[in-house]
Each structure stands twice: as structure tokens, then as C-alpha cells.
Structure 1
Amino acid sequence: MSGSEQPFIDHLVELRDRLLRIFIAVLVIFVCMAPFASEIYDFVADPLQRMLPEGTSMIATEITSTFLTPFKLVFVLAFFAAIPFVLYQIWSFIAPGLYKHEKRIAVPLLVSSVFLFYAGMAFAYFVVFPLIFGFFTNQAHADITVLPDIKSYLELVLKLFFAFGFAFEIPVATVLLVWSGAVNPDQLARKRPYVIVGCFVIGMLMTPPDMISQTLLAVPMWLLFELGIIFGRMVKPKEAATGAE
């Protein structure tokens, strides 16, 4: 009995150690970034600040916001920065249980996941933010002074970072579905109308209530789905790969 329990305990110990390494990595990055919290927040807020009317600026409606908000941003960005290390720890934990052909496809997918997540965040910052913040600030009534709250702004941009970061993972998810044998590329292609509708529904739920930001999320999601189908046609289903070996 003890012999059968020991491997499971070893797995739990290894999982604990890897989670601890992830926590330490995020903490180290956070400590390194913390002295520059205000500058980092200014950089993230720049797409909105450039759109504000002359003579106005962002405000803090809570006493602790000026101190806590930049550090909250830095902590989240520290986790984003640690994603390659996080995925490496996850990979190291599950790799011993994978077959050779599974490892061959897992490594490119892990690398692609990191690249696509960062690409989604960059797309949100450089393309989406200027468009939607320009739209919102220009829609303000002439008698209304636009004074965005720094805490509300942070919640919005983090939501958009997550939304676009994960939306850009669609090609990876599509390839995994094909590789697992759950679907084939032709079946996915036939579902295209439903996917397009689903992309706009997700865009509606995960972005501010305006057509610009919803479309800026939905259209890339659809195009990434098409890209996933293209790459899915290059992947052998798991059962076929196993049989080939």
C-alpha cells in the first residue's frame, strides 16, 4: 500500500515545489518592477491621457488609489512577464508522462502560446486602446469634463489585456482540438458561421459596450480561428501519430 502511495506523494511534493518556484519568480519580478510602479502606470495610461482634453488629467476618487493602483498593475504585469517561466514549470511537471510524439507537438504549442498571448496584449495596447479611448473621450458632452478615475481605468485595461491575450490563443486551442481527434479541420470550417456569431457575443461580453471595441476583439478572433484551421490541417491526430510510431 505504501509503495503505491509514494509516487502520488512525490507528485504532490513536485507540484508544490514548482508552484513555489512560480510564486518566487513572480515575486522577484514584482520587487524589481515596484520602484518604477508610477512610471509603468503612466506608460499603460498613456493611450488615454493623450486623448484627454487639454488641461485635464486622470483623478483618484479613493485615498489609497494613488498608492495601491500602480502596485496592483505591477503585480499583474509581473505575472504576465513570468508566463514563460510558468509554462516551463507546467511543462516540466507534465513532460515525464507524455509520449515522444506528444512532446514534439507540445513544445511548439507552448512557445506559440507565449508569443500569441503577448501579441494579444500588444494589439490591445497599440491598436485597441487609442481607438476606443479616442471614441469615448470625443463622445463627451461639451458641458462634461472628462476626468477618468485611475482605479476604474486599471480595471478596464486589465480586463482588455486578459480578453485579447486569451483571444489570441485561439489558434493553439484549435490545433489542440484537431490533434486530440475531437474534431477535424473540415468540421471546424463548417462551423464557421456559428464561430463568427460566437466571436461577436464574446466581444460583447468582454469589452466595453461599444461596437468599436467589440468588433476589434471579434474580428481578430475570427481570423485567428481561420489561422488555427490552416495549421490544424498540418497536424496529425494523436491516434494517427501513435500508429505511425
Structure 2
Amino acid sequence: MAEQTKLEPPKPETEAPDELAGSEAPLLDHLIELRKRLIRSLLVIVGLLIACFFVAGPIFDILVQPYREAVAPQPVELIYTAPQEFFFTQLSLAFFGAIFLGFPYLAVEIYGFVAPGLYKKERKAFIPYLIATPIFFLLGAAMVYFAVLPLAMRFFHSMETGEISMLVKVSEYLGLAMTLIIAFGLCFQLPVILTLLAQIDLISSGTLKKGRRYAIVAILVFAAFITPPDPISQIGLALPMYLLYELSIWSVMWIEKRRAKTLAAAEGEGTDTTTTPT
């Protein structure tokens, strides 16, 4: 007899559209969440901008204080050469105040967007960096306000002669002060960023030590690009950045030692499971 072949039932078609829809849904949710956080951040910055515009005078007095201390006992004389210049300078002051005051909120929004993709243990590890971010930003701003800016203004005023005097435009001085404060505040995030990268195994202390010479060159180029063309400002930014780089190496080494102790303890607990014969 001829061997009869059994007909197999047709295989169900794979539901590709449902799988694609399932993969697109998380992406769409992330985009919606990002949109909400961007809108909230923008509203906060705009609100702070409006509020700071009405207190632009006190902000101006605060930023001019290092200049006053640099040229004391002489009075500070700032000028503007266009009718609309001081108005736009007040807008710049308001925007600077909004960014400065809103920086912690922006950091919280970034953490809130990233946190759902982290494990519970990783969220706890991320919180110290969230706290350290505004602290290091304030340290950088304080260094500009109390050290770098007064030294730079003294250096500029020392170049005056009996026939040549320096008349400072209000927009240029405030632009210099605000640029240095924001630049130093961001540059002081270097230990936070490098330590966070070490926490997720993207860099190591050995890599940072080997790249020290390249880091020095990059720091000098960055300082020359971001600061005015005077040695005081450039050294004032380059030297702290290099010290922060060395601090980052020590911080990464501490993380590596702590991770090695944790792994050794885990391996010890795993190998200690001996069974006694009955």
C-alpha cells in the first residue's frame, strides 16, 4: 500500500503588525514623556525669565560687585552706546538669572526622564550625582565671582595709562561675567560626569591616567576658546579644570575599589556554600 502522507494544518501567520505596534508604543511613550518635560522646563524658564526681568537691577548690582572690588576706591563707570543696548542687556540679565536659578530644576527633569529606564539600585546610585550637580555648579560660579573676575578686571585696569583710560560697555562686562559664570559652572561638572561614566563601566581610572596628556591639551584649548584673550581668565579656568580631572581620577579609583570589594564579598558568599555528608 502506498504510504499516505498526513496533511499538516497551515501554520498561523506571524502577527507582525502587532509586534511592530508593541515596539513602537514604548518609543511613542518616551517621546510623549520627553515632550511633557520639555514643555514644563520651558514654562519654568519663561516664568523665571519674566520674574528676573523685574529684578534685573539687583542682579546687575550683584554682578558688578566684583568689578567694584577690583577698582576700589575708584567708582565704577559703565557706558552704553546705543539707545536699545541697555534694554537688551536687561533681557540678557533676566535670561541669565532664569538659567542660573532653574538649573537644579532642569537637572531634576533630566533625572525624571532617565529614571524609569534604570533599576531600583541604579536609581539610588544616581541620586548622589543629582545632588552633586548643582553643588559643583555653584562652586564654579563662586570661583568666578570671588576670584577670577576680580583678578581679570584688575589686570585689565592695570593697562591704563595717563592718556588712555578704559571705558567699559555695560553689555560687554556683563556678557563677560555671565559667560564665565556659566562656563565655570558647566566645567565643574567634570568630576560628576566622569564618575557617573565610571559607575556604568564606560571608563576606568587607567584610561583617565593614560589620557592625562591629551586632557591637558584639551583643557588648554577649551580655556583659550571659552575665555577672553587674557592669561588671568585662561589660567583661572584651565588650572581648576585640571585639578578637577585629577579629582575625577581619584573618584573613579574609589568606585573601582568599592566595586572590587563588593565582587569579592559576593564570590566569598558563593563559594562558602559547603555541604556536610550525612
TM-score (norm 2): 0.79
Q: Which amino acid letter does the alignment assign opposite residue 19 of structure 1?
A: L
Counterpart of 2:186 in structure 1 is: 166
Counterpart of 1:127 in structure 2 is: 147
User: For the structure 1 residues 18 and 124, does the alpha-carbon distance in structure 2 shift closer, same or farther, using more than 3 Å as the test?
Assistant: same
Deviations 1:128-176 (A, max 9, x none): 0100011101112321221111111222122212221111111112213
Q: Give the 5 Å matches for 1:210-225.
A: 210-225=230-245
Q: Which amino acid letter does the alignment assign opposite residue 195 of structure 1?
A: A
Q: Which amino acid letter does the alignment assign opposite residue 166 of structure 1?
A: L
Counterpart of 2:171 in structure 1 is: 151
Choose from 75, 78, 97 the match for 1:58: 78
CA contact (8 A) 1:26 1:82 kept: yes
CA distance in 2 between counterparts of 1:62 and 1:50 reads 27
Stretches of structure 1 that go unaligned for 5 or more consecutive residues are: none
CA distance in 2 between counterparts of 1:235 and 1:39 reads 43
Q: Which amino acid letter does the alignment assign opposite residue 235 of structure 1?
A: I
Within the alignment, does 1:177 sit opposite 2:174 as a pair? no
Within the alignment, does 1:188 sit opposite 2:208 as a pair? yes
Question: How many residue pairs are counted as aligned between the two chains?
Answer: 244
CA distance in 2 between counterparts of 1:226 and 1:107 reads 23
Choose from 93, 96, 99 the match for 1:76: 96
CA distance in 1 between counterparts of 2:49 and 2:117 reads 33
SS at match of 2:80: coil
Q: Give the 5 Å matches for 1:90-129.
A: 90-129=110-149
**Higher radius of gyration, 1 or 2:** 2
Q: Which amino acid letter does the alignment assign opposite residue 228 of structure 1?
A: S
CA distance in 2 between counterparts of 1:187 and 1:51 reads 42
CA contact (8 A) 1:49 1:58 kept: no
Q: Which amino acid letter does the alignment assign opposite residue 170 of structure 1?
A: L
SS at match of 1:68: helix
C-alpha deviation, 1:207, in angstroms: 1.2
CA contact (8 A) 2:52 2:97 kept: no
CA distance in 1 between counterparts of 2:71 and 2:125 reads 47
CA distance in 1 between counterparts of 2:82 and 2:173 reads 13
TM-score (norm 1): 0.89
CA contact (8 A) 1:121 1:162 kept: yes
CA distance in 2 between counterparts of 1:51 and 1:4 reads 61
Greater relative contact order structure (CA < 8 Å, 6+ sep): 1
Report percent identity of matched pairs: 35
Q: Which amino acid letter does the alignment assign opposite residue 60 of structure 2?
A: Y
Counterpart of 2:43 in structure 1 is: 24
CA distance in 1 between counterparts of 2:226 and 2:23 reads 46
Q: Which amino acid letter does the alignment assign opposite residue 209 of structure 1?
A: P
Counterpart of 1:8 in structure 2 is: 27
Deviations 1:104-149 (A, max 9, x none): 3221112111111121111111110100011101112321221111
Let me know the Cα RMSD of the aligned residues. 2.6
Q: Which amino acid letter does the alignment assign opposite residue 48 of structure 1?
A: Y
Q: Which amino acid letter does the alignment assign opposite residue 174 of structure 2?
A: L
CA contact (8 A) 1:40 1:70 kept: no
Stretches of structure 2 that go unaligned for 5 or more consecutive residues are: 1-16, 267-278
Choose from 28, 34, 40 the match for 2:59: 40
